[in-house]
Amino acid sequence: MRRSRNAKVVATLGPASDSAGAIEDLFLAGADVFRLNFSHGTEADHAERVRTIRTLESKVGRPIGILMDLQGPKLRVGTFADGAVRLEAGAAFRLDLDAALGDGRRVSLPHPEIFAALSPGTDILLDDGKLRLEVLSCGPDHAETVVRVGGPLSARKGVNVPGVVLPMSPLTARDRRHLAFGLDLGVDWVALSFVQRPEDILEARELIGDRALVMAKIEKPAAVDRLDEIVSLCDGIMVARGDLGVEMPTEEVPIVQRTIIRSCRREGKPVIVATQMLESMTASPVPTRAEASDVATAVYEGADAVMLSAESASGAYPREAVAMMDSILRRVERDPQYRVLLDGQHGAPRATLADAICCALRRTAHVINARATVSYTRSGSTSLRAARERPVAPILSLTPSIDTARRLTVAWGIHSVVVENEASDEASMTELACEAVVEEGFAEAGDNIVITAGVPFGVSGTTNLLRLATLSRKAA
């Protein structure tokens, strides 16, 4: 089951893709990682999806990644006596902690953390940014505002406070319960919503430990302001363009997307571009041309993966959406300009043995026209550093750990294989590598491959060996 592309596809599961047959269809159409959105569905629903994915994994003989996405704090106004009101531009409007039903002059905002962070002049956005209030005065339990952009407002609509770091954890009590449940299920990645500060990543790591990798969702301007610190602490990043588009001007989102991708490329951390990529395919069997261009842009910029949300979770054409995503990725990667852009975006390696070896791997693979690069890895770090280099030849990652193989499914260009027999010396390493590239369909007799590993064998973080090999007829 080798993919004929480097960028990966993340597909969200939901009511439209719940059955074993539907999940298998999505995998065969091109899904590499399945996302479980814990904002929706029951724990029983998600447990059944995990069981189905693991059964499919055994059937197809390929590692499949599972990403659990935590909801995070949801900031919402309270309810109204008449169901809804209309706020007129220039009118006064009060937000407070009073649980009484709201009207056209006030409504409850049951989040004291927001009032603690407000100051006069702060903007408050309601209903995905459709309405905008400006704070005139505030206290620990209220805010007097003036409506700058009006419109209808109904109960439980969302609240955003752009440009303000709110004194609250990204993990609610509900998230903590879901996290413990997901870790027990054996998810591979945890996507953390509402990240504002590097400290949010450290808080999540204390709970997760080494049971899964941490993916920070960048959806708030405060996180963008401290992007490099957050990237350095997490294992991967998701560009969550939906909330970003609410909290900052729309025209800024493409610039921020590119900035995030470049930061992740520099650090060698996987980055997923998400939200509304093929949105029209929730109701149409084909996307708009603009959506196809959007997906292509993410790939040209060097993203590791692109993600489908409602398109595969609740849309009318989940399989077609995945197949379309797969088709766009493959077509972009055949464009000669794709390689030119990837090489032009290449950052300088760090002054480490691993980066020196992986940098040499990329250049050597190009010079000798290698059909594959092979990396031995226990933790996944060697393969990720190789992926950072974006070599022309595909990366065959050999690991004794199924957990590592699953976690690497989100990373650019990596084809993971779990090996039962570990290399004990350079000769056995070369033999295993040659056998693996043939068995996985990467090369045949006479082809060159480049191998990287660490000595002593079996010790994580010791990448220090580069080996060239030509496949013999015996290996092939």
Instruction: Show which residues are catalytic.
Output: 35, 76, 217, 275
462 Cβ contact list (under 8 Å, min separation 6)? 454, 455, 456
- Whether the CB-CB separation of 232 and 199 falls below 8 Å is answered with no
Burial class (CB in 10 A: 0-12, 13-18, 19+), 19: exposed
Structure tokens at 160: 């955003």
Nearest residue to 398 (alpha-carbon basis) of 445, 354, 435, 368: 435
Q: CB atoms < 10 A from the CB of 464, how many?
A: 15
3-state SS assignment for residue 65: strand
3-state SS assignment for residue 215: strand
Burial class (CB in 10 A: 0-12, 13-18, 19+), 422: middle
Integer Cα distance of 386 and 381 in angstroms: 9
Backbone angles phi, psi at 355, to 5 degrees: -70, -35
For 423, which DSSP code?
-
Backbone angles phi, psi at 247, to 5 degrees: -90, -10
Q: Are strands 106-108 and 123-126 parallel, antiparallel or unpaired?
A: unpaired
**Residues 222/226/229/231 CA torsion (nearest 10 deg):** 70
Structure tokens at 276: 């509304």
Residue 216, CB half-sphere, CA atoms under 13 Å: how many? 30
DSSP string, 104-167: SSEEE---HHHHHH--TT-EEEETTTTEEEEEEEEETTEEEEEEEE-EEEETT-BEE-TT---S
Integer Cα distance of 399 and 429 in angstroms: 12
